[in-house]
Amino acid sequence: MKVTLVYDNTAYKKDLLPDWGFSCYLEIENTPRILFDTGANGSILLSNMEKLGIDPAAIDIIVVSHAHWDHTGGLPELLKVNRSASLYLPASFQPSLPDREVVEVRDAIEITGNVFSTGELMGVEQSLVVKTDTGLVVIAGCSHPGVGRILEAASPHGKVSTLIGGLHGFREFDLLKDLHSVCACHCTQYQSEIKKVYPDKWLDGGAGKVIEV
């Protein structure tokens, strides 16, 4: 499994554009291509995709974590060039999207193969859960429901190994002690503290970062 950060507050690859927001692209063997979140700005999203060699028209599934602009702003431009992707949107996000296949997510569901949604936790935000041979990969947009609640929602699928995404004001660092790796990016307020506590688990983020699991 390969996760490519397409949109983030910082740029891991210097030729990409940083901006406040989040998006990542998932490549999983024998699984449709998935984009999680769309960042804040469509032109930045598409520019970064082009530089990363990602064809936006070839994305099969688009998952939006929650309705905030920094995760949904790129969606209109993306949908102009992608006419066929299935959309998995939290129930609280209800854009006008005529003639598009939209799955309104409230409860935990299987999206495809070994890819699941936690459901819209606290009526606010869904996260992705991917089963791999080495454990679960959890991808969060901003972790508004709380990291503990997200990890708990993922746990019926197995043991969480990797956590990727925005963690906002998360400070319950003990919740990360059994994880193999953490890439806390975007809105995470305590990145330096997490890196200090878990230097062996820490993965730098930024647009262009590729995480292979």
Report the first-to-last Cα separation within the chain, whole angstroms: 5
Q: Whole-model pTM? A: 0.98
pLDDT tens for the chain, 213 residues long, are 999 999 999 999 999 999 999 999 999 999 999 999 999 999 999 999 999 999 999 999 999 999 999 999 999 999 999 999 999 999 999 888 888 889 999 999 999 999 999 999 999 999 999 999 999 999 999 999 999 999 999 999 999 999 999 999 999 999 999 999 999 999 999 999 999 999 999 999 999 999 999
The structure tokens listed for 38 are: 């769309």
State the residue for tokens 């193999």: 180
- The topology under which CATH files domain 2-212 is Metallo-beta-lactamase; Chain A (3.60.15)
